[in-house]
Structures are given as structure tokens and as C-alpha cells.
Amino acid sequence: MTLPGDERGGARPVRDELSVPDPTAPRGDRRPAAAGPRPAAARASFQDMWRELSPIGRHADSGGYRRYAWTAADTDCRAWFRTQAEARGLTYEVDRNGNQWAWLGDPAAGDAVVTGSHLDSVPDGGAFDGPLGVVSSFAALDELRARDVTLGRPLALVNFGDEEGARFGLACVGSRLTAGRLTREQAHRLTDGDGVTLPQAMEAAGHDPDAIGADPERLARIGAFVELHVEQGRALDLSGDRVGLASAIWPHGRWRFDFRGEANHAGTTRLVDRRDPMLPYAETVLAARREARFAGAVATFGKISVEPNGVNAIPSLVRGWLDSRAADQATLDTVVTGVEQAAREYAGAHGIDLDVVRESFTPVVEFDHALRDELGRILGTDTDLKVPVLGTGAGHDAGILSGTVPTAMLFVRNPTGVSHSPAEFAAEDDCVAGVHALADVLEGLARR
């Protein structure tokens, strides 16, 4: 792995503080986020970092990413983060929960402006969900240095561990632990599909699993957290904007449906004698779609496990996971209750036992209004640029932290609207616009 920008200026000389700006430079030289051409600093460092990160954890056949928490690919991503931090002379540290931090200024000074996202992925995920926010954080810092600004507050870049929950089934483990929304005991019970526990996986990757837990001192250092993320929908594409601001994250959760019947021979068992759990499961999938459509919400059975999982065997168990999200709590309750009631009716009709377990839940997150308004002002300072404000159905570390820390999110246009898939995309010009928006925001917040 090469250091960034040896020839192209991505790695800056090591400096403890950003230098003093040129007082003669007119304020109007600072251009807003989505405006036209900019100095090349951010683009060059973005390109360098993107190129380095791209091969890590990419699956040759699918073209998607398999960067699961505490695996070799995750370790490589984390090494990349550390290299970027150290190349810029930032103070690097790993917190008790395995989240990585890179500090400019004194971490203990308090009221820090923090930005970042995550580097892990869903199974065969896209390149942008998570990494765009982390890469943009470093590129925004490079942009600030190119602008030669002085910051009056500490600045930190962060890579939150295990955001997607792809391996252990619970999203945002790193930030949940830090915020005290997941206890050490609960985390220690998490187990992956191969029976490896979270503590075992952490230990194998060189992190002490007994150290994990709430970290209020760390959160108390943060004055504002801003996460930049690729949009996971098409609102910006439809509005024609490169960058948007988040208003809220929809309440969302995961429910496990266990349909239990009786395994038997697929050839010799008469249809009337079967107790086949696949049938009510299939009807429940359709019910989820129907309930979500009626309510203006979303509901998805995207993961299933079947026992004994034989082509010529009637299943004994069909376990399906429901993911559902809605703009408000009451709507989400209506959808999930409706799906469960339907599932119980179908299961009863087929002689099948059903258990429904809520595995995780995150209530609605309204991002800090004052911080959001301030970001809106910063991004519109020099022109009449209006940054659209969007709600999202996707969960984020920013949502977890928002209960404790003033938090905001920036979204970058994704023309396909596709996410959690190799088709996830953002054009380089839009990514660079995002970097500039983030740099504007960090500068505007930290100059105070």
C-alpha cells in the first residue's frame, strides 16, 4: 500500500495545526458546495484514496464488496485508515470499541468537530456506502489545508466499526457500544453464521473484547458530528442537486420469523399430510409487501434460512428476517403488526408453529435542528444555493450518536438510487462536490 499523493500532493507536510490564512484573501473566494470548478486539491487526494481503497475486499465474481467486521478485508481497510491518518500527521487512536480516530488538534480540548463514516460493507455491497464518507473526510481535510485556514476547534476523523451488521446481525455495533446503547454483555453474545462470537472475532483481529463498553468521556469531547454518505435513494437525482442535508432517519428494525413444521420426503409425502413451513412463509412475504404498500412504508424479507435445506426434503424450519422502516413510529407499528397477524393466520392454516422475535430496533432520529440550519447557512453562504433537506430510510452511525451529540448528515447524489449492491454509484464530480461541501461545513463549524 503506497502513501497517498506522494507526487500529487495528497499527503501534506506534517503540521500540528493548520496554518494562518491569508488575511488579504477576499471572503468571496470561498465557493459553496455545489458550485463550479474548484482547486484540484480535493479531487486529487480523493482520486488517490479511492484508487487505493477500491481493491480491498472486492469479490472477483460479483464485483461487490465483502468487508465484514473483524475479517481480513476489514483489517486491510483499517490499515488503510491508519496510513491515511499518519500520512497527514494526525494523532491516530483506536477506542475501546474498535472505532478508529484521527485527530487534528488536542483530543482532550473538547467541543471537537468530528466527521467520518464506516468502511465495512453488506454482502456484495457497493463501493460508496461508508467509504465515501471516510475518504471524503480525509479529502476535506486536505482541502482545508489547501485553503490554509485556521481551526479554532479540534477536528477528528472517524471510522466506526461494524456499521452494517453484516456478520453479527446487529447494525452500528461500534457506535452503539460507544453511546451505551449496546452493553458489553449483549455484544459478547453476538455470533456470526459460522458460530464465531464477536469476542472471538475481535480477539483474532487483535482487539481486546473485554475492553468494550460505553464511552461517555469520548462522546463528551464531541461538539458536532457530521457524516457524509452516498444517498440511498434518488431524491437528489430527481431534484438535480449534487449534495443534500438529512432531516431525519426513519424508525427501523429487524424481526425474525421462525416457521416450524415437519421435515419429510418431497416425493412420498402426500400434499395433505404435509406441514410445510415454506408455504406460510411465502404468503407472509407477500403480506409484507401489501402492508408496506398500503402504509407508504417499506418491508423486506431479504434473508432466509431453511432446514434441512435439501432439494428433496420438505423443510422443518423456515427462518425469515423482516426489515421494515417507515416515516414514523405509528406507521411502522401498523406494518409490522399487520405482517405478524397475517403470518399467524397463514401458519395456523398450514399447521405450522410461528415465533416472531424483534432482533433490533432504532426509533426515529430527528437530526439536530440548530446544527442542520447552521449547515444550511454554511452551504448557502456565498450564493443563493439551496441545499435540499431529505429524510432517509437507512440507518447510520450518525443516528446512533444523535441521542448524545449534535449530529448532521450530508448526502451525495446517487443517480441509480441503488445501494447495498455493486450498482451503487456516485459520479466523481458529485463526490468532489461532496468533499467541498464537507470542507465548507468543517471550516464553518470549526473556525468559530
Q: How far is the CB of 164 from Zn ion (least distance, A)?
A: 7
Asked if 314 and 263 count as a contact pair (C-beta separation under 8 A), the reply is yes
Choices 121-129, 235-243, 378-386, 424-432; region in contact with Zn ion by CB under 5 A = 121-129
Span of 125-133, 242-250, 299-307, 361-369 interacting with Zn ion by CB under 5 A: 125-133
Among 48, 52, 74, 129, binds Zn ion (CB under 5 A): 129
Name the amino acid, one letter, at 64: G
Q: How many residues touch Zn ion (CB under 5 A)?
A: 2
Q: Applying CB under 5 A, which part among 26-34, 127-135, 309-317, 333-341 lies near Zn ion?
A: 127-135
Binding letters toward Zn ion, positions 21-40, x by CB under 5 A: --------------------
Q: Which residue has the cell 473483524?
A: 70
The answer to whether 260 touches 352, Cβ cutoff 8 Å, is yes
With CA atoms as reference, report the closest residue to 251 among 320, 335, 308: 335
- CB-nearer residue toward Zn ion: 129 or 291: 129
**One-letter amino acid of 297:** A
Residues 143-162 that bind Zn ion (CB under 5 A): none
Segment near Zn ion (CB under 5 A); pick from 129-137, 247-255, 365-373, 429-437: 129-137
Nearest approach in angstroms of CB 2 to Zn ion is: 26
H runs (alpha helix) in 299-353: 329-349
If the CB atoms of residues 132 and 378 are measured against Zn ion, the closer one turns out to be 132
- Under the criterion CB under 5 A, does residue 165 sit at the interface with Zn ion? no
Closer of 336 and 438 to Zn ion (Cβ):
438
Give the binding range for Zn ion (CB under 5 A) out of 124-132, 191-199, 269-277, 406-414.
Answer: 124-132
Q: Which of 98, 130, 174, 209 binds Zn ion (CB under 5 A)?
A: 130
Beta strand pairing call for 252-260 and 317-325? antiparallel
Q: Whose Cβ is closer to Zn ion: residue 105's or residue 130's?
A: 130
Q: Kindly give, in sequence order, each residue whose CB lies less than 8 Å from that of residue 269, ignoring residues fewer than 6 positions away.
A: 314
Residue 98 vs 338, nearer CB to Zn ion: 98
354 vs 345: CA distance, rounded Å = 10
Q: How far is the CB of 394 from Zn ion (least distance, A)?
A: 7
Residues 202 and 351: their CA atoms lie apart, in Å, by 42
Q: How far apart are CA 407 and CA 396, in angstroms?
A: 11
DSSP string, 262-312: --EETTTS-GGG---THHHHHHHHHHHHHHHHHHT-EEEEEEEEEES--TT
**Within 10 A of 123 (CB to CB), how many other CB atoms are there?**
16
Q: How far is the C-alpha of 252 from the C-alpha of 399, rounded, in Å?
A: 11
> Closer CB to Zn ion, residue 52 or residue 129?
129
C-beta of 230: minimal distance to Zn ion in Å? 8
CA 279, CA 222: separation in Å to the nearest integer?
51
CB of 188 to Zn ion, least distance (A): 25
**Binding residues for Zn ion, per CB under 5 A?**
129-130
